[in-house]
Amino acid sequence: MAFVRASGYDAVGITDALRILSDDSSRRVVALTFDDALLDFLNAFDLLGQFKAGATLYVPTAAVGVRVSRWDRGLSKLSWEQIDQISAAGVEIGSQAMSGRHLDTCSDDALLAEVRESKRELEDRLGKPITSFCYPAGLTSARVRRAVVTGGYSNACTLVPRTARPQDDVFGLPRLRVRPAVTGDRINDLLRTGGKGATLPVERIAVPAWRMARRTAVRVTRVARCMM
């Protein structure tokens, strides 16, 4: 955060970043996003306040308030009261569907419920429009994107590891994953190169097998649905 501020970037949530860049594409903007509504987001929330930065927090609504243990912030989830307070402080709240299940293998009815009901619940509880979506595990497809568009969202994030470009589909926005050991110099490298080389070699090797497994899962799910 110190590097981002010292380098003259605006640090904001994803929807604000898109709005700022639509008005002035020359602005230096970093969109900060946090998935899963984990309890340890409270640590980041304190830092956002110190640096007067914005962010988007994605919430899987069915998991709100889940506690692994009283002290565990790494797996436990924020409560509705905490999410309401975070929203009131200016952090954008987005939907990460309801259950966090892989949407590309959901039936059409289940997909629409995941996308629409999570939005409805967040809006009812927070009293604000919810316009940003995060695909659980970053998994999407043309069918899933259509559901998100018709569900009333204005943008959606994937886990594609690179910086966003002006020509990117706003319903398939890439993101750079900043891990705990990443320094300001490393962030500068990621921003300068557009994230080239951000994927670890092991992850690159695993991608083809992962894609094959997902395609098989989607085919099996669709066959099962047709047989019901």
pTM, two decimal places: 0.84
Residue 172 half-sphere exposure toward CB, CA atoms < 13 A: 12
Report pLDDT for 194: 84
Report the first-to-last Cα separation within the chain, whole angstroms.
Answer: 52
* CA gap 186, 207 in Å, rounded: 24
Superfamily (CATH H level) for 2-197: Glycoside hydrolase/deacetylase (3.20.20.370)
pLDDT by 10s per residue, the chain, length 228: 899 989 999 999 999 999 999 999 999 999 999 999 999 999 999 999 999 999 999 999 999 999 887 666 668 999 999 999 999 999 999 999 998 889 999 999 999 999 999 999 999 999 999 999 999 999 999 999 999 999 999 999 999 999 999 899 999 999 998 888 888 888 888 888 887 655 433 333 334 444 444 444 444 434 434 333
**pLDDT tens sequence across 89-141:** 999 999 999 988 899 999 999 999 999 999 999 999 999 999 999 999 999 99
Burial class (CB in 10 A: 0-12, 13-18, 19+), 106: buried
Query: Minimal CA–CA distance to 177: which of 198, 157, 201?
Result: 198
